[in-house]
Structure 1
Amino acid sequence: MQAKHHPAIRRYGRRIIPITFAYVGAIALATALVPDNAPASALTIGLALLPGMAALGWLWAMGRLLIELDDEYLRMLEVRKFLVATGITLAITSVWGVLELYSPQVPKLAVFFVFPMWCIGLALGQLVNRFAFGDRGPC
């Protein structure tokens, strides 16, 4: 069976798409309702929790994919993608964090960008699977 037709992959797609719409909608809502430099309030905290819940939903969907993939090779490709993404994210944020500590003129990296950075790392992990190992994996 081709990876893209695997039932676990189809279920993953059905889960991830509405979560993605919820995330984008939550970011748009927060952007529209919270002015720049707004003080922390029940509204700002509540609106900040919404995209965070969607991010947790993405992580849950990815975890379910790993559990539901009965093909060990496909699961290994996904795990490799996650490891590449995590390694890239930890390396960049660690180096940038040290730069921020010792070079005050370096712009601060907003924590908001860490998860999108990890998601870009997933795409790079997929490229590693394809070009270093000859298989892009199921997703």
Structure 2
Amino acid sequence: MSGDTEARGGRSQGFWVGLYLASVAIIGALKLTGAIESPFGFILLAVATGAMIVPMRRAGACTSPAMATYNRRVLVSTFGYVLGLGIAVTLWNSYTLSTPVVFVISLLPTLPTFGVIWAMGRYLADEQDEYLRHRTIMAALVALGFVLALGIFWGFLEMFELVPHVWAWWVLPVWAIGLGAAQLWQKVRGA
């Protein structure tokens, strides 16, 4: 823990990220085993995501004012994504919908993902510290490379019928995982 976090008696950023990932893993396991149904699983994911906003701000997770704003924007967009996805899937599974309605409900999880992309671009424009901006750009490039390599590899495996089809909306979550892994690697390396 950082000295600032300890002085306030709070938890570190890593604690909250770990708690969130554990929550997502537990919710995912419950969903996969059939212990919980779709609407309840999505509600739990939305609650877990929304619950991250306050602790992350208090954990001293931000190295600059621009990063604090970025974190808030991404958490709000992620909350909207999970909530929108839950509503869309629930409506799709529960009702027979016309094509225009299906188009509209498909926008519910899509629009918040645009918020995540916008937040990244806005962060890069707002960040005054060149070193922090460089680290973020490098992590984003590693994440992009990860998505491209994985997408190409999976695409060929799928073409030769070795793996099942994967929906294209997985690109953003996989990119986010790559971004987090690249940022963690930078932190561990001290670069």
TM-score by length of 1: 0.84
Whole-Å separation in 2 of the counterparts to 1:32 and 1:84? 34
Task: Sort the Cα spacing of 1:45 and 1:52 in 2 relative to 1 into closer, same or farther, 3 A.
Answer: same
Q: Any idea what SS the aligned residue of 1:97 has?
A: helix
Runs (4+) off by over 3 Å: none
Whole-Å separation in 1 of the counterparts to 2:162 and 2:97? 25
Which residue identity is paired with 1:24? Answer: V
Aligned to 1:31: 89
Q: Which whole-Å deviations, capped at 9, do the CAs of 1:31-88 have from their partners, x for residues lacking one?
A: 110029x787111111111211111100001111111111110000000110111000
Deviation at 1:5, TM superposition (A): 4.3
Which 5+ residue runs of structure 2 have no aligned equivalent?
1-59
Aligned to 1:112: 169
Aligned to 2:112: 54
Which 5+ residue runs of structure 1 have no aligned equivalent?
none
Q: 1:97 aligns with which of 137, 148, 155?
A: 155
Q: Which whole-Å deviations, capped at 9, do the CAs of 1:84-137 have from their partners, x for residues lacking one?
A: 110000000001111112x224211211211111111111111221234x14xx
Whole-Å separation in 2 of the counterparts to 1:5 and 1:17? 17
The aligned length equals 131
TM-score by length of 2: 0.63
Question: Are 1:64 and 2:122 matched, yes or no?
Answer: yes
Deviation at 1:15, TM superposition (A): 1.8
Aligned to 1:82: 140
Q: 1:124 aligns with which of 181, 185, 188?
A: 181
Task: Sort the Cα spacing of 1:92 and 1:121 in 2 relative to 1 into closer, same or farther, 3 A.
Answer: same
Question: Are 1:14 and 2:52 matched, yes or no?
Answer: no
Which residue identity is paired with 1:95? Answer: F
* Higher relative contact order, chain-length normalized (CA < 8 Å, sep 6+): 1
